[in-house]
Chain A
């Protein structure tokens, strides 16, 4: 069975600090997909990034970067120079290539609090 672990329940930082959110996953499939979602205080879920299991290239998007390492089954998310607007709950999720449709397994989320 697939599993996603986000060991950090809550992280507090001061604005402009860098912060890394950890995500460790378990799956028996050789083909799978990893996602990060953001849930701001308003409650909606916002898709941030998708990564395929056969593509270990790291990705950077503005202040956001993602480090995918199959050797350690990790897909960590770093925010550089954090801002108050980054305060949210961040979810890591895993999808296996199962019958062509996407059923996501979510981690429990990491709440990030960025103070001014």
Chain B
């Protein structure tokens, strides 16, 4: 049972570099999400997707981009890394059938990103 898989687990970037955080799920969930977790601040939603080809902004989308070309994959792109983007990033997915809004989200193990 792979569930939600995120790569890499750790990464250090220099200011101005770009990178893509990978996320894939094998549960056939249409709904996928990206969060960032800063110390003492809980999780904040960056972007979400309700299906292939459909994405929308969450609470803190600035500095990030996403795409959703397949049901399984939902990569998060940082174009010009800034120190403020140092955080732990979590990808999640959830069931998309009837009653979807009451279904728990399943999280990956996170990507710890440091920008220096």
The reply to whether A96 and B40 form a contact with Cβ atoms under 8 Å apart is no
The reply to whether B101 and A35 form a contact with Cβ atoms under 8 Å apart is no
Q: Which residues of B lie under 8 Å from residue A107 when comparing CB positions?
A: 42
Binds A, one of B16-24, B63-71, B72-80, B105-113: B105-113
Chain B residues proximal to chain A, CB less than 8 Å: 31, 33, 40-45, 48, 50, 58, 88, 90, 92, 94, 96, 100-107, 109-110, 112
5 CB < 8 A contacts A-B: A35-B104, A45-B107, A101-B48, A101-B50, A101-B94
Q: Which residues of A lie under 8 Å from residue B94 when comparing CB positions?
A: 101-102
The reply to whether B96 and A101 form a contact with Cβ atoms under 8 Å apart is yes
- A interface SS class: strand
The reply to whether B45 and A104 form a contact with Cβ atoms under 8 Å apart is yes
The reply to whether B33 and A45 form a contact with Cβ atoms under 8 Å apart is no
Write the nearest CB–CB distance from A32 to chain B, whole angstroms.
Answer: 8
The reply to whether A102 and B103 form a contact with Cβ atoms under 8 Å apart is yes
Write the nearest CB–CB distance from A38 to chain B, whole angstroms.
Answer: 11
Write the nearest CB–CB distance from A81 to chain B, whole angstroms.
Answer: 26
Q: Which residues of A lie under 8 Å from residue B48 when comparing CB positions?
A: 101, 103
Chain A residues proximal to chain B, CB less than 8 Å: 9, 33, 35, 37, 43-45, 47, 50, 52, 91, 95-98, 100-104, 106-109
Q: Which residues of A lie under 8 Å from residue B58 when comparing CB positions?
A: 103
Contact of A101 (CB < 8 Å), options: B43, B100, B109: B100
Contact of B31 (CB < 8 Å), options: A43, A45, A101, A109: A101
User: Which of B41, B50, B105 has the most chain A CB atoms inside 10 A of its CB?
Assistant: B105
The reply to whether A108 and B41 form a contact with Cβ atoms under 8 Å apart is yes
Known: A45-B92, A101-B94. 16 other contacts (CB 8 A): A35-B104, A37-B107, A43-B88, A43-B112, A44-B109, A47-B106, A97-B101, A100-B101, A102-B31, A102-B94, A102-B103, A104-B33, A104-B45, A104-B105, A106-B42, A108-B42
